[in-house]
Structure 1
Amino acid sequence: MSGRRRKGNQSRARSRRRRPLPRPLARRLVLPGAALAVLVIASGAAVAHWGAAPGTPRAAADPAAPPGSPALVPDPQADESDASPPGRERRSPSAEAGPPNDPKPRITPSTEVPKPAKPSRKAAPPPAVPASGPGTFATARSAGSPVGAGQVRRYRVQVENGIAVSAEEAATEIERILAHPQGWAANGKGSFQLVTGDADFVIRIATPATADALCRRQGLNTRGELNCETTDGVVVNLRRWMLGSPTFAGTPAEYRHLIINHEVGHEIGLRTHMGCPGPGEPAPVMMQQIKGLDGCRSNAWPYDEDGTYLTGPVIE
């Protein structure tokens, strides 16, 4: 009897374990479990939010991600066109493309060594002019054709021996001066011809001491600086021929035009000198420009480019 009771009790116990729980009881058991799971997830999110840097945007929790999966942080510079496929972590562009572009221009120091400035060329010193010479002369062994129209005046060129100017070079330059378009011959004041023999007048280039001696014979004091007219021609001071004049705003070569035009002007009959016609006007060649310009401009030719004779008041 007792044995049958024990078997009956065991079978009833097994049937009770297999019997489903009543619905209200099942609900009471499921709801606390779900609440516990939500609490765990919320706690994890709060911890992750607390550990993140302020202001860092975070992606919403992926409900499909398994528990414990790392949350993906979206790239703040990404747009829809370069978004990564779902489930693949996006790499930061800075990690792949190197450092970002700096909007400020970077100045790279130049490695080029600056070249030193070239020293400016100093003006050549004026040529040395000997104070005196032997007093003898060499005659230019060259002859030319008459230049200009009208009465022909023949001239000979002589240069004192022992100086740096040759007679042939001087004769060539004087011939060119007398043929200048603004000179005497080109404007109807006669014709001039370079010769080696008999001449109507002689042009001599002499050292200052020799020039003074030749001019003194005519009663003229040239003081080692000036030119003069003599009974047989013209004496040109070597200092003026080589250096020009301190009052003349031009080169020595241009001043040589003034010397020849002035002295030949005396040879063609202009025995007097002229003064300045007015401030700013070109000085006449028959003005003694070496003694001052009196407001005029330096000028080396008897005529201007239009063929007008440049004159001024006569000075006795």
Structure 2
Amino acid sequence: MALTVAAAALLASLGAAHAGTLDDVKQRGVVRCGTSPNNPGFAFTDSAGKQRGFDVDFCRALGAAIFGDIAKAETKVVEPRDAFTVLATAGVDVLTHRFTWSFNRDNGAGLEFTQALFYDGQGFMVRKSANVKSVNDLNGATICAAQGTTTELNVADYFRQRKLTYKIVTFNGTDPARLAYDEGRCDAWTNDRGSLASRGQGLKNPADHVILPETISKEPVGPVVRDSDPKWAHLVRWVMFATIAAEELGITSENVDELKASSTNPEVKRFLGVSDDLGQKLGLSRDWAYNIVKLVGNYGEIFDRNLGAKSPIGLSRGLNGLWKDGGLIIAPPFR
């Protein structure tokens, strides 16, 4: 009993240490986000030395919401195997990374997944010259994968269920796995399909490779925070919802000023802080959602410029389309 009480007190004290993340962020003057390394379209450094990508833009959305300034959003590249430790020790305030929302990660690990922002699934890339048409053709294959991810377990489950043999070779990070595959050390390379499409741009001859048609898992991806600060988790979640709601309401970075000045739509007026002050419940200013759209854009704008038709990746929206268009992306009402 005494040990149980002592353990509970210790956990409570640890939770209290992180109970004021928003206050810490405001005092520091910058919000810090952990991002994945060298992942074109999601998080990468461009030729000018600037961080760009889908995950980076959602970090900037936090900077816009909290400070009204995207320059006060700081990204820190962390390897998958280190990311949760970096978050737990307050090295970053949030992970806008490529981590799948799973039961074990969301229960008992001190983590909270706030919102699925990108729906993906695990796939396999192979050389066209191998004439492999299906995952079933990989019986006996050597497969490259990143260490510390869910991909190993997914491969094991899929191949065991189909009585297929394989050898998995893991590497310390996604880039080493890609390089090993590119050097011919593996017959196939496995990762989320979105990452295969983006990181595949870094292969010596991208056109010589193809992603197989099967998707062997569901991989909902979104920001992760410590579970000791529910106020911070709410803020991160609703900042993400704001980008989605803006697209649902037809609010873009180009028309947001006009709509703020002239819209008669009650939800648009609430959302932009014209009629209601929704920000106060999050510890933010009245125009927090306006700042997000003005400085970063809505979900569709963020997707299109980083991953969609306006980007080198060229991904279709698919499951990442709005719910009204047959996708899974939806935001609760702003009221």
TM-score normalised according to structure 1 size: 0.24
**Greater strand share, 1 or 2?**
2
**Greater helix share, 1 or 2?**
2
For the pair shown, the structure with the greater C-alpha radius of gyration is 1
Greater relative contact order structure (CA < 8 Å, 6+ sep): 2
TM-score normalised according to structure 2 size: 0.23
